[in-house]
Amino acid sequence: MDLQRPDSYQGGAGPDFNEHVLHKTILVGDSGVGKTSLLVQFDQGKFIPGSFSATVGIGFTNKVVTVDGVRVKLQIWDTAGQERFRSVTHAYYRDAQALLLLYDITNKSSFDNIRAWLTEIHEYAQRDVVIMLLGNKADMSSERVIRSEDGETLAREYGVPFLETSAKTGMNVELAFLAIAKELKYRAGHQADEPSFQIRDYVESQKKRSSCCSFM
Ligand SMILES: Nc1nc2c(ncn2[C@@H]2O[C@H](COP(=O)(O)OP(=O)(O)OP(=O)(O)O)[C@@H](O)[C@H]2O)c(=O)[nH]1
């Protein structure tokens, strides 16, 4: 990711109670799991195949998501997964409202490291941070080593929502950010008579499964 990249915030008119609030969301996970690709797919609707260039440091993209007719501004931070940048990225966890934690379904160690990532998150982030677990590269069915059920079981253990995504095809990418935006909007303020919003139930009801892997 180019850290000098200009802010991609899609501003514009439109009254809502969140107009001036930026909800800080951070992408974390091992190097190469697809954090930058996921953000590019969500922001620009495209996937740039080819050689992998690791993120250096940290950078952000602003993006407006409309949920239930309300504009919610997400400031999405893309972090470097490489170990040598950890101390830099930890500093950003503290004021994050949401964290998208990614592993790569074709890379076992990226999945095994999720527990260590969650330990770090619990150490450095706020107690009530919204966490979502994402198993990325779901399009790579022939190289899959982590079953969908394994991701689901781990997410259930930690009480967090889970989705399999593909930054390549776009599968569930918008849903992941939309669910986060809905949760943050709900937390920012809701009517007393508004039904409660449960992010895990919402994700379960909306998610598309990778058609490749129902046998796994
Ligand atoms: N097939 C497929 N390839 C992907 C997907 N997501 C990412 N990739 C590829 O995986 C490689 C790593 O992707 P990145 O988005 O750079 O990974 P990252 O997590 O940002 O890596 P760091 O910046 O080092 O933390 C690149 O070659 C991407 O093209 C996906 O969903 N499907």
Amino acid at 1: M
How far the first Cα of the chain sits from its last, in Å, is 33
For residue 20, name the pLDDT band (cuts at 50, 70, 90). Answer: low
Predicted local distance difference test score (pLDDT) of residue 177 = 97
Question: Across all residues in the chain, what is the average pLDDT?
Answer: 85
Substitution candidate for ligand 1 out of 42, 44, 52, 171 with most atoms within 8 A of CB: 52
Substitution candidate for ligand 1 out of 37, 40, 76, 144 with most atoms within 8 A of CB: 37
Ligand 1 atom, smallest distance to 56 CA: 23
Mean local confidence (pLDDT), 170-190: 92
Predicted local distance difference test score (pLDDT) of residue 210 = 60
Place of tokens 């993209």: 61
pLDDT of 15 above 60: no
Instruction: Give the residue among 174, 178, 177, 179 at the shortest CA–CA distance from 198.
Output: 179
List residues near ligand 1 (CB under 6 A): 31-37, 49, 52, 54-55, 80-82, 136-137, 139-140, 166-168
pLDDT of 21 above 80: no
Instruction: Give the residue among 121, 115, 123, 125 at the shortest CA–CA distance from 155.
Output: 115
List, for residues 39-48, the tens digit of each pLDDT value: 999 999 999 8
Mean local confidence (pLDDT), 146-172: 97
For residue 209, name the pLDDT band (cuts at 50, 70, 90). Answer: low
Q: How far is the CA of 120 from the centre of ligand 1 (A)?
A: 22
Is pTM beyond 0.90 here?
A: no
Residues 193, 77: Cα–Cα separation, whole Å = 34
Residue pair 83/32 in contact by the 8 Å Cβ criterion: no
pLDDT of 156 above 70: yes
List, for residues 83-132, the tens digit of each pLDDT value: 777 777 788 899 999 999 999 999 999 999 999 999 999 999 999 999 99
Residue pair 132/114 in contact by the 8 Å Cβ criterion: no
Fill in the DSSP letter of residue 143: G
Tell me the three state secondary structure of residue 120: helix
Q: The CATH number of 23-213 is which of 3.40.50.300, 3.40.50.720, 3.30.70.980, 2.30.130.10? A: 3.40.50.300
pLDDT of 215 above 70: no
The Cβ of residue 110 has, within 10 Å, a number of other Cβ atoms equal to 25
pLDDT of 1 above 90: no
**Burial (Cβ within 10 Å: 0-12, 13-18, ≥19) of residue 43:** middle
Mean local confidence (pLDDT), 175-189: 92
Say whether the ipTM exceeds 0.95: yes
Share of the chain above pLDDT 90, in %: 63
Residues 115, 188: Cα–Cα separation, whole Å = 29
- The CA-based angle 156-173-91, given to 5 degrees, is 70
Predicted local distance difference test score (pLDDT) of residue 7 = 36
The residues, ordered by sequence, that sit 6+ positions from 95 with a Cβ below 8 Å of its Cβ are 24, 126
Predicted local distance difference test score (pLDDT) of residue 4 = 33
Residues 177, 74: Cα–Cα separation, whole Å = 9
Fill in the DSSP letter of residue 146: S
Predicted local distance difference test score (pLDDT) of residue 48 = 84
Q: How far is the CA of 36 from the centre of ligand 1 (A)?
A: 7
